[in-house]
Structure 1
Amino acid sequence: MRTTTLGGTGVRVTGLSFGAAGIGNLYRPIDDESAFAAVDAAWDAGIRTFDTAPHYGLGLSERRLGAALRDRPRDAYTLSTKVGRLLEPNPRGGRGDDLAHGFAVSDTRRRVWDFSADGVLRSLEASLARLGVDRVDVALLHDPDDHADHALREAYPALERLRAEGGVGAVGLGMNQSALPARFLRETDVDVVLLAGRYTLLEQDGLAAGVLPEAAARGRSVVIGGVFNSGLLTGPKPGAMYDYAPVPEPVLDRALRLKAVAARHGVPLRSAALHFPYGHPAVASVLTGARTAEEVRDTVRLLRHPVPAAFWDELRIEGLLAPDTPVPDDGTAPLG
């Protein structure tokens, strides 16, 4: 699988990354065996970049990912986690679940927002313990939407110091919006932005809002997550979800039109959605979540499905892509 260096760092990522929220019991529980099999399948497919966070399953994702990778050579893969949410004992925990936050785990712990310099260090120390490793390669500020100034003033400088001291190889932020990542790219020396749901076949806000142009101009990297827009592009239909809510009618109509064009070219809509982000030069990797080995293998099959240039041409003709939107010119995407 092809690899790319993040920004000006020495941290390399594979063109396809494994998102570990699913093995943290996202929406429904899975057992350890299924989680480990998913990581094994990713490894067998050539994926060597793995992303997790304390938020995912109240630490379960980190524990499972660390266990699944424990026997792999540490220098053979790139590991990313996030800061901004500390996990603390829940004084009222153990009697409920965490499904309000999307994870089918016991509520024995709770999340506490903390973008202080001390919070960053404590978060990473706890993550290393859960992962069972002595370092992570990438540290990302996680969803600082309502804490932008604090994150810029304290959390980011703490990450910058860690990078300078060799504690992490690359730093950045992961978000579901475009405005704040664009600001970080302008005002800081982040190496990478993990942008979820905002640069997809369905919508290209990350392009219009400046995230990808800023990254490209400054030699930084973008990792794209959420390419299916909350699952809408896996099978658009009334009642489908979009941005964690029922899909609005105009958005559904657009998704159905995309599906119709894909069908005319013999391309599964999911394949087109996976291929699309690779057209932009700032995109270093596409991050997809998986909870089972079959989901990993399905993603790889979809990426192997060629997407002809005529498909992208028709999207432009139909007004479903702006004329200047970059598209992939290599039908094999990142698989080589």
Structure 2
Amino acid sequence: MNAQPVETRELPRTSLKASPITLGTSYLGRGTVPGGPGEQAAVEFAEAMLSGPYALVDTSNEYAQGRSEAVLGIAASAGIGPGRAIVTKTDRDVATGVFDEDRVLWSFEESCTRLGVERIPLLHLHDPYSVSFEEATGPRGAVAGMLRLKDQGLVDAIGIAAGRVGLVAQYVGTGLFDALLTHNRYTIVDQSALPLIEEATSRGMAVFNAAPFGGNLLAKGAASGGSYNYTASPPALLEWVARAEDVAARHGVTLPAVALHYSLRSPMIHSTVVGVSKIERIAELERLRTTGIPDELWADLEALGPAPSPVTD
């Protein structure tokens, strides 16, 4: 167990401190059932996250159909390492798509029950795609639910967590949110979230950048044919990534290290969220984090020209 998380910094407008990396848990507990044979292994994995090198573990109401939060709750009941915390997200009703004030309040209650807590330090509004921005920000909308929880002192801070830059910009523009979590849109392949990150920074918000590997493409390399942003990578993108791998190799580092440090090096990003699916991945991430990247590499990478990103929103 690490006595304290590494390199913590204050998260603006929250009660939290974050390490450069936050662990994502969308895979945690997937396929397990309460008391089933896979649950204990998942709990042990969660315990490793909550006592490992990083300050924050990120989950969501709907991850693994609620099992991510449930497993984290079991692990946390035995104690969390000093300086660590769990942050989560509210989600739509997956059966109906309803995402209004009542659903936000119920999602919060579900999360608290699973996590075994009464309060949450940072709660994100997650992927509000099933409702329009006008519905979400109107009377009895999802945003009203988020503000109600904050006003009641049940959450310390609220965030907006989603991918679609244009939509997320509308939520950031309200000035109501304390944190931003963007994903797959600030990587060596796609920088479409940069104006959004700049806007959030100008408003003094905490900024999380998730999925620096774009899914698995930048973690596994071009030869893997890996996906980017949950979709198959087109041949032109695979060719560009192969050239980026060559740049990394010329400088004596790996593509995954370059991809991670692209996010870590930004002064506007407080923490980079990386999903992990096995315990060994935590140590691997720490090796990548502590890898030195030559300054000259970034100019050589830029010289490749823009990558043909498949992101279209």
Matches of residues 145-224 of structure 1 in structure 2 within 5 Å? Answer: 145-147=129-131, 148-153=133-138, 154-207=141-194, 210-224=195-209
Match of 1:50 among 57, 60, 69: 57
Q: How big is the shift at 1:44?
A: 4.2
User: Identity, % of aligned pairs?
Assistant: 30
Question: What's 1:96 paired with?
Answer: none
SS of 1:245's equivalent in the other structure is: coil
* RMSD of aligned alpha carbons: 2.3
The alignment's TM-score, normalised by the length of structure 1, stands at: 0.81
* 1:63-95 superposed Cα distances (whole Å, 9 cap, x missing partner): 001111222259842221111323xxxxxxxxx
SS of 1:42's equivalent in the other structure is: helix
Q: Against the structure 1 CA distance between its residues 266 and 13, is the aligned structure 2 distance closer, same or farther, given a 3 Å change threshold? A: same
Question: What's 1:230 paired with?
Answer: 215
The aligned amino acid for 1:228 is F
Matches of residues 55-204 of structure 1 in structure 2 within 5 Å? Answer: 55-73=62-80, 76-86=83-93, 111-147=95-131, 148-153=133-138, 154-204=141-191
Q: Against the structure 1 CA distance between its residues 61 and 43, is the aligned structure 2 distance closer, same or farther, given a 3 Å change threshold? A: closer
SS of 1:10's equivalent in the other structure is: coil
Q: How big is the shift at 1:315?
A: 1.4
The aligned amino acid for 1:213 is E
Question: What's 1:291 paired with?
Answer: 277
Q: How big is the shift at 1:297?
A: 1.2
- 5+ residue gaps, structure 2, are 1-5, 308-313
Q: Against the structure 1 CA distance between its residues 73 and 302, is the aligned structure 2 distance closer, same or farther, given a 3 Å change threshold? A: closer
SS of 2:214's equivalent in the other structure is: coil
Residues 6 and 170 in structure 1, CA contact (< 8 A), matched pair in contact too: no
The aligned amino acid for 1:41 is A
Q: How big is the shift at 1:25?
A: 1.8
Residues 55 and 111 in structure 1, CA contact (< 8 A), matched pair in contact too: no
Aligned residues: 295
Residues 139 and 170 in structure 1, CA contact (< 8 A), matched pair in contact too: yes
Residues 38 and 293 in structure 1, CA contact (< 8 A), matched pair in contact too: yes
SS of 1:37's equivalent in the other structure is: helix
Q: Between Structure 1 and Structure 2, which shows a larger proportion of strand residues?
A: 1
Question: What's 1:308 paired with?
Answer: 294
Distance 2:249 2:306 in 1: 15
Residues 38 and 296 in structure 1, CA contact (< 8 A), matched pair in contact too: no
* 1:107-140 superposed Cα distances (whole Å, 9 cap, x missing partner): xxx5442321111111101111111112211111
Distance 2:90 2:240 in 1: 35
The aligned amino acid for 1:8 is R
Question: What's 2:235 paired with?
Answer: 249
Question: What's 1:92 paired with?
Answer: none
Residues 38 and 290 in structure 1, CA contact (< 8 A), matched pair in contact too: no
Q: How big is the shift at 1:320?
A: 4.8
Residues 49 and 57 in structure 2, CA contact (< 8 A), matched pair in contact too: no
The aligned amino acid for 1:193 is L
